[in-house]
Structure 1
Amino acid sequence: MGIDVARGIAVLGMFVVHVGVGWEAADGSNALYPVVSGRSAALFALLAGVSIALLSGGSAPKQGKDMGVALWRVVIRGLIMLPLGTALTMLGTGVSVILAYYALFFVLAAPLLWERWKIVAGTAAVLAFAGPVVSFWLRGLATGRGSLAGPVRAVDAYDPLVGWSGEGVVDFLLTGAYPALTWMPFVLAGLAIGRLDLRAVRVRWALVGVGAVLAAAAYGAAWVALSVGGVRERLAGSFTGGIVERYGGQGLDETLSRGLPGTLPVNDWAWLVTAAPHGGSPLEIVGAGGVAMVVLGVCLLVADRLWVVLYPLAAVGALALTTYVGHVVLIWAAERGVFEGTVLWWLTSDLAVSVLVGSLVFATVWRLLVRRGPLEGPLHAVSLWAAKRIP
């Protein structure tokens, strides 16, 4: 239940970003936005890794044919996410849909199902620092007249996913909102955590302690670099023109607070020592990953004692796929005025309230009466049926 509660928090964090759940700060902005920006998606990705681990046996990994079935279930689930995520992106809501990226995350994580948790954790740590550096270098070569610009355009030209939704293989790997090169550390960290005995209280406290240290060290280092190391002044001098337009027309301070669209600007290596939310720098990955570990550890500690109070939140987490898809569809309906002039007009009159209350109520009732969600059930059945029939 603690894992479901944590996943529910991640989903609600995405609601803050997508539909404005929260309250107004003194400057008129959403007070919760800077808190959850980037971190809710990182928690979502880390919990995806935990789910992969639990699917394959948790702290007692499956062996032989059973592990083979688990591996194919992971891969098949990822492949199902691809058309679903692409379809949601094609709605054109402006939401950076993470589901299509899951296809690549799951496929890349599958070969590590057999490895010990320390190996997986070490791989995640190496990628947390190496991934952003490689991404920065490759994206620099892929922009303007760089040596990779032509090949990238050629791949995009023949990628049907780009034609359908605007996001294709290059986005999933390198340039999108959740590129695998900088997001796999979250998934692999979750896979390593899922191999631990999460029922043990000492493990839960370890997640809180280690996560807090990682978050404090990463965000502290970024603060020192910006405030003392002269990085802020250096970036301010380069944050002009096309860079501002590419990253939402925000000023530097607002960008560092509210976040980036999944990747760092490639005009200055100094971006790699910032911790801007959703930017994919090493310090942001470590910091957001640490926060995700703290949230998971706390949820595991309190869920057993407060299960009555937390049940609606856990229900949202258990029906995360359904509630995620549902809120994107509702955003699309609001933008197209689908319910205007009908008896359902109230569904889109205040999206924040409709999405928040509707998700909590629907998930709670469905969980009590049916258990698996309307999308989770078919996903479970199809992946299990297909995996058992693969030699």
Structure 2
Amino acid sequence: MREDTNTFAIAKPQESGRVPTRRESGTGSQGELGRMVGIDFARFLAIIGMFCAHLLPPAGIPGHISWLSSIVDGNASTLFAVVGGISVVLATRSYLERGHIAAARWAMAVRGLLVIAIGATLAQAPGSIVVVLVYFGVAMLGSIPFLRMGAKGLLVWAGVLAVVGPILNAQLRGMIGVVGEGGGVSWPQWGEPLVALRAVFVTGTYPVITWIVYVLVGMAVAKLLIGARRNAAEPRLLAWMAGVGALLAVLAVSASALVYGLFGRAAVIATMPVESAEAIDGLIGSPGFGAPLSPEWWALALQTPHTGTTLDILRGVGIALFVIASMLFLAGVLPKAVLRVLEPIRAAGAAPLTVYTLHVLAAAAATVALASVGQIDAPADIPWWYLGPGILGVHILGALVIGAILAALQRRGPLEALVSSISGAVARRLGAVATGGRRRRD
């Protein structure tokens, strides 16, 4: 099973774990970005996609749902990463607007380091989930030079990296003879720091060389949304985002199918003549491990999930843009009574680090329990509490319960509050920010 997530930047630096009210955070129709309810909805959808990727039977095991896998594989993770880029802007926005550049950089640096530390710890849990937090934490650090950049500049950099990154990824792996390494990058792996860094940036499951593209796109989206809300142009921007997103996804899938049908399939058959056509098609359609299936040009032109090709990136970005725009539009037109009913979903989506951590720990506990059961002779003997719709429902219910509790208490997730508190304290101290928000003189 694969990990399909990636955003845990906190929305806005605050002193306590209390969630600001809608009036305080400016989430009304005329407010600025604040904590957008639609963003939390989009993040919750990504959480559900992650759960599906982890807890439903993969291909080749009875109970596999191919159509659902085609939706969540490689898309839930990129949606999280794009929303993570939005969160990067939200986490540093107040500092930048007051001219505290150093504080903004320190805030993001500390957040990134804390996410790396949590990820390296969580990656030691038993199970098959590839924890993404170390990769995402490094991507957060990589976003620091782009904090002050405008939306156009961010999109240009994202476009360049989306083209160059996959080529470098495939070529470098070929040069050093590494197909894939790194996994969740736990603490023991950092015993060889050069290998761990190589995995994080190039050869791992979520290499930063391509994954930072999603963060940059998310940062650009956040800045566009801020400007649109200030200029009362949000509906037009959301329509543009949804249209462009749908177009990118359709073009990526269509172009990939054309390249594979005309060139890729024959190239694969030529190298594996004993394989059946169905098996080859299944191989090409299965998620990769962070790099194109081959350094050949046709492989670089496929949109196979988790391969980091340009078309894989475009498909993921397109779907993320469409979902984010749809959720923002939905949150803007729903009556307040309906939004109150959906508050547990919003609160769960606003606490991704807490929900994700508990999800991974619960899956790890199930792995330990499965080991105590003894040998599983056939896939059909896998218990419901380890894999399948039953345990998926339990995890979704658990996320909703967490959301309901946080909503009732009007609190943020505990891990979100912890990361925000530590990063805020360091940023104010090292960034020379006085309590009242003025620059402190040394």
Q: Determine if the TM-score, normalized by the shorter chain, exceeds 0.5.
A: yes
Name the counterpart of 1:188.
Answer: 216
Match runs of 1:84-233 below 5 Å: 84-143=118-177, 161-163=189-191, 168-197=196-225, 199=229, 200-227=234-261, 229-233=262-266
Letter in 1 for 2:308: G
Letter in 2 for 1:260: G
Cα distance in structure 2, aligned partners of 1:262 and 1:216: 22
Q: Is 2:350 aligned against 1:305? A: no
Range with greater deviation from structure 2 (259-268 or 198-207): 259-268
Cα distance in structure 1, aligned partners of 2:150 and 2:97: 12
Name the counterpart of 2:322.
Answer: 294
Cα distance in structure 2, aligned partners of 1:122 and 1:310: 37
CA-to-partner distance for each residue in 1:291-311, whole Å, 9 max, x for gaps?
100000000000133324543
Range with greater deviation from structure 2 (364-373 or 121-130): 364-373
Change (3 A) 1:361 1:236: farther
Name the counterpart of 1:368.
Answer: 408
Structure 1 residue 206, shift from structure 2 partner: 1.3
Change (3 A) 1:304 1:21: farther
SS at match of 1:287: helix
SS at match of 1:133: helix
Structure 1: runs of 5+ lacking an equivalent: 154-158, 245-249
Q: Is 2:119 aligned against 1:79? A: no
Letter in 2 for 1:311: E
Cα distance in structure 2, aligned partners of 1:257 and 1:167: 29
Cα distance in structure 2, aligned partners of 1:40 and 1:97: 14
- How large is the Cα RMSD of the aligned pairs? 3.3
Cα distance in structure 1, aligned partners of 2:398 and 2:372: 18
Letter in 2 for 1:363: G
Task: Work out whether residues 103 and 427 of structure 2, in 8 Å CA contact, stay in contact via their aligned partners in 1.
Answer: yes
Structure 1 residue 32, shift from structure 2 partner: 1.4
Task: Work out whether residues 252 and 312 of structure 2, in 8 Å CA contact, stay in contact via their aligned partners in 1.
Answer: yes
Change (3 A) 1:318 1:274: same
Letter in 2 for 1:387: A
Structure 1 residue 25, shift from structure 2 partner: 12
Structure 1 residue 238, shift from structure 2 partner: 3.2
Structure 1 residue 105, shift from structure 2 partner: 0.3
Q: Is 2:57 aligned against 1:18? A: no
Letter in 1 for 2:408: L
2:64 to 16, 20, 29: 29
Range with greater deviation from structure 2 (299-308 or 109-118): 299-308
Name the counterpart of 1:335.
Answer: 367
What is the TM-score of this pair, normalised by structure 2? Answer: 0.75
Name the counterpart of 1:235.
Answer: 268
Name the counterpart of 1:390.
Answer: 430
Task: Work out whether residues 274 and 284 of structure 1, in 8 Å CA contact, stay in contact via their aligned partners in 2.
Answer: yes
Cα distance in structure 1, aligned partners of 2:327 and 2:96: 23
SS at match of 2:333: coil
Identity %: 30
Structure 2: runs of 5+ lacking an equivalent: 1-36, 374-382, 432-442
Cα distance in structure 1, aligned partners of 2:157 and 2:295: 28
Letter in 1 for 2:305: P
Name the counterpart of 1:265.
Answer: 293
Cα distance in structure 2, aligned partners of 1:100 and 1:206: 33
